Chains A and B, each alone.
Chain A
């Protein structure tokens, strides 16, 4: 397409008006980065649609089955970075058959032809193989960034392909991704000489790595800012890396303990970890500590004052050990913890971290019937101390409405509120009443709330509150809650922005399903497992809504024999809008209506 080069001069007599307008439009639209804005722009008229499509360089695919690779590459010919999401979130909790789908192969094949200039790939909950990674490495000469989150299906062989062939690789980030040990030394596959590497994250990779090769790689990557090691890196090895890379901004420390296997002659001589950390003046984000030896924690004190992000969610330390770290962290905005820090630890957070935006508290014992170390006391303390809180994920054994209401009042900026009371159907443990009022207060008082996860004993009243006040809610997670179809109806009829609805083990049936029919084309997906919907009800929906893919998932015996087999012979209803025909890569256990 012949373009005048960004020439904004007024119309000349000889130029046809359309062409100039198109050029201007394309130039202007290049500055539009937000995809929602781009989507709106594309709806204005034909020429806007065309211009927008030509200038979109970042493509976001929220559901890999909503649109086919062919259609996507046909409409957007100039994509440089792509972001694809596959499985729905509940798949992470073993609620979906393992081979359900979300394969990267069709995408990488299509893109290898359509976008030879592709630079960035970001995948979430997709399955990819070593061959897919090899194809990626071979097809895209300028490939720069690969980020895989909650993915699986490939091994160190695939990593090796990426490392060796992508000469311009800046980012290789694997988060919570399963990597098969193909016995391939992928770290050694990085080319000799200086690399442009800026970010290397492999903290989830459960295989040994060649430390010498890693040391060499770090030494010849002057741009390296983010390095997240796996638990096979001991604290001594961490030291050796730190002194080579004091410019790091993001560090995942690996095990943060002595290695079991390697005997050191000078074991008694502790290295000066304190100074090594002190030298890292730019460090703002710290994670790892996968097998922490608490006596080494003081070495991180020098960097605490600058930290904005700290991930202690694999770190089993007691309240005292935790407090001695957190008192230094005044700038902290993101904090992930294990509940071993107890309510006491949370009180320490409330006292020190006045700037906190995001908090996640994970359980060290994901059980139902035990005394938990954190409770409403911790939540109350956080709400009083961290007024700027925007996002919270809190696992506990017991909670009160009072504490939740307090949080709704103290933290009006909350955008994400996810409370998981681990005992199913647990009421307020003081008043013994349902948790309706607490969650009701959250939706009522937190006007910016877009994501909500509920738990505990909840009646339909809670859902009526959500439907009434949760006008901005996009994502809602429900488990073991509600009394009747009305609960689901309140939500489907009341929340206009709802995009993702995931429900399990709640008494919602066909009537409620029907009540939401007008919403489903405007939603990303609906997930209902172990609810009261019947096959017939699903068939009705599928029949009346041709662009809705209605999948019924059955558990295989080996997968989860204890999920109840009801008469309808399926356990999960997963439905999503799609422009395509039924997919052909579904396994036996999936029935697509």
Chain B
């Protein structure tokens, strides 16, 4: 029973009265294929739902869908989000079955954070909580507040100089990979962290960096395009200078990487 997969259906129904006391009912709407442990958790939360406020229930639902990789069903493609859902308050610990909550995925090869299909930047896997709270689509209720999606999608993101909280997002491409990724440079303090994250993300090893020889011991070389449009090797300039001048990252491979003069 521990490992069985069960088809589980749930939805929620809120009844609006003078004093909104929403209740959960289980009516077939979505089929989720989940592990048994997760079902009992979901059920438990659903039953307890009537004693929680809307906010927590909302959090819970969003997280569940996020976790099950079905957040796209919530419909919205949203930009960056400021509010982190407070999972502490809901006492939720969600994650893939068999995985310890405190387990930082050290090999990182299996990025178990199901990324919602909406355009949110993946954070490196350092958090305890499984699904990424910050990237869940916001609106639980369709069409509320009544703002047109054009307006929602085109609100200007905050400029880095104005707010300390915003990130520096750059695209990362790897030669031969079909699509690009995006990372937030502000999340890292120094080059080793960044390199490790890149290695995890693209499943390669960068080799040993030295000023004289660049990245030795690998057929990959992480490079970046700076403000002047020049292709530079990652690691040559001080970190602070790097994050302000880096426009995009490119992991070069093979002969082009070698062509920079850094041999395998």
Residues of chain A whose beta carbon lies under 8 Å from any beta carbon of chain B: 90, 92-95, 150, 176, 178, 204, 231, 263, 290-294, 313-316, 318, 338, 362-370, 395, 420, 422, 424-425, 459, 479-480, 483, 504-507, 559-565
Contact assessment for B154 and A480 in the assembled complex, using a CB-CB cutoff below 8 Å: no
Given known pairs A362-B147, A563-B142, the reply for A316 and B75 (CB within 8 Å) is no
Contact assessment for B156 and A93 in the assembled complex, using a CB-CB cutoff below 8 Å: no
Residue B139 at the A interface, CB < 8 A?
yes
Q: How far is the CA of A447 from the CA of B178 in the complex (A)?
A: 63
Q: Which residues of A contact B17 (CB under 8 A)?
A: 483, 507
Contact assessment for A314 and B156 in the assembled complex, using a CB-CB cutoff below 8 Å: yes
**Beyond A290-B156, A565-B27, 13 additional pairs, beta carbon < 8 A:** A93-B143, A94-B75, A150-B148, A263-B228, A290-B154, A314-B156, A366-B145, A369-B58, A395-B145, A422-B144, A480-B16, A559-B75, A561-B75
Q: Which residues of B contact A564 (CB under 8 A)?
A: 11, 13-14
Q: Is chain A's binding surface mostly helix, strand, loop or mixed?
A: loop
Q: Which residues of A contact B197 (CB under 8 A)?
A: none
Q: Which residues of A contact B82 (CB under 8 A)?
A: 365, 370
A177's nearest neighbour on chain B, judged by CB, is B150
Q: How far is the CA of A314 from the CA of B154 in the complex (A)?
A: 7
The 6 closest A-B pairs by CB, nearest first: A93-B143, A316-B156, A366-B147, A422-B145, A95-B143, A560-B142
Q: Which residues of A contact B97 (CB under 8 A)?
A: none
Contact assessment for A369 and B55 in the assembled complex, using a CB-CB cutoff below 8 Å: yes
Contact assessment for B142 and A562 in the assembled complex, using a CB-CB cutoff below 8 Å: yes
Give the A-B pair count, Cβ closer than 8 A: 110
Contact assessment for A318 and B83 in the assembled complex, using a CB-CB cutoff below 8 Å: no
21 contacts between A and B (CB under 8 A): A92-B148, A93-B143, A93-B144, A94-B143, A95-B143, A176-B150, A294-B159, A314-B154, A315-B156, A316-B155, A365-B82, A368-B144, A369-B58, A422-B145, A483-B18, A559-B75, A562-B73, A564-B11, A564-B14, A565-B11, A565-B29
Given known pairs A263-B228, A479-B146, the reply for A318 and B162 (CB within 8 Å) is yes
Residue B20 at the A interface, CB < 8 A?
yes
A93's nearest neighbour on chain B, judged by CB, is B143
Q: Is chain B's binding surface mostly helix, strand, loop or mixed?
A: loop
A480's nearest neighbour on chain B, judged by CB, is B16
Residues of chain B whose beta carbon lies under 8 Å from any beta carbon of chain A: 11, 13-14, 16-18, 20, 27, 29-30, 55, 58, 73-75, 82-83, 138-152, 154-159, 162, 228-229
Q: Which residues of B contact A368 (CB under 8 A)?
A: 144-145
B15's nearest neighbour on chain A, judged by CB, is A507
Interface centre among B141, B143, B147 (most CB of A within 10 A): B143
Contact assessment for A367 and B75 in the assembled complex, using a CB-CB cutoff below 8 Å: no
Q: How far is the CA of A316 from the CA of B55 in the complex (A)?
A: 27
Given known pairs A263-B229, A292-B156, the reply for A204 and B143 (CB within 8 Å) is no
Q: Which residues of A contact B55 (CB under 8 A)?
A: 369
Q: Which residues of A contact B30 (CB under 8 A)?
A: 561
Contact assessment for B150 and A204 in the assembled complex, using a CB-CB cutoff below 8 Å: yes
Q: Which residues of B contact A563 (CB under 8 A)?
A: 142
Contact assessment for A291 and B156 in the assembled complex, using a CB-CB cutoff below 8 Å: yes
A484's nearest neighbour on chain B, judged by CB, is B18
B147's nearest neighbour on chain A, judged by CB, is A366
Interface centre among A368, A395, A559, A562 (most CB of B within 10 A): A562
